[in-house]
Structure 1
Amino acid sequence: MYVAWSSKPLSVATGISSDIRNLINARQAFDLHNDHWRSERSDKHRSAKRACRQALNGNVPADIARDAFIDAAREAHMLVDCANQ
């Protein structure tokens, strides 16, 4: 399984207490989508989860999954330090 992630890690706030997690690959992003997403599931969330799964299977570049994850995390107000992403 392919777990590469391009660029720098992404910092996201999870859960009720907004714990900060630094994601370094598509596997961690996919797991976060399944286990710790703190808002309702939207179209962007589903698209990002699908892109992460496809990146894990080697069907899309990690950059695409990362960009989709950033869009979904912004929408869910989970992305930390958005200006640098």
Structure 2
Amino acid sequence: MQTAWFSKPVVVSVGVTGSTRNLSNTQQAIELLTTHWRDAGSVKHQSALRACRRATSGEVSPDIAREAFVEAAREAHILVE
């Protein structure tokens, strides 16, 4: 497994206080998707998790994983745009 870096960080709002986090790679995204996700189990959540895992194994580009993560974050209302 390798760390797949996004071309541009994804900014999300997390936790009760809504603190922001800048996610720069698939490992950070996977950690958030598996531990602190509001809509865990949704189609977009599962798609983002799968894409991030595939990017860490080199099957897809990090930017494909980034886009899937952005869509899941938007659905969960945590994406800072």
Structure 2-normalised TM-score? 0.91
Which of 23-32 and 11-20 deviates more?
A: 11-20
Q: Which has the higher strand share?
A: 2
| 1:8 paired to 2:8 | yes
The answer for unaligned runs of 5 or more in structure 2 is none
User: Partner residue of 1:39?
Assistant: 39
Tell me, what secondary structure is at the counterpart of 1:7?
Answer: strand
CA RMSD of aligned residues (A): 1.2
Q: Deviations over 1:20-65 (max 9, x none)?
A: 1110100000110011112343100000001001111111110110
Q: Which runs of 4+ in 1 moved over 2 A?
A: 38-41
Matches within 5 A, 1:66-77: 66-77=66-77
Aligned partner of residue 11 in structure 2, secondary structure: strand
> Percent of pairs identical after alignment?
54
Q: In the comparison of the two structures, how many residue pairs are matched?
A: 81
Please list every run of 5 or more consecutive structure 1 residues that lacks an aligned counterpart in the other structure. none
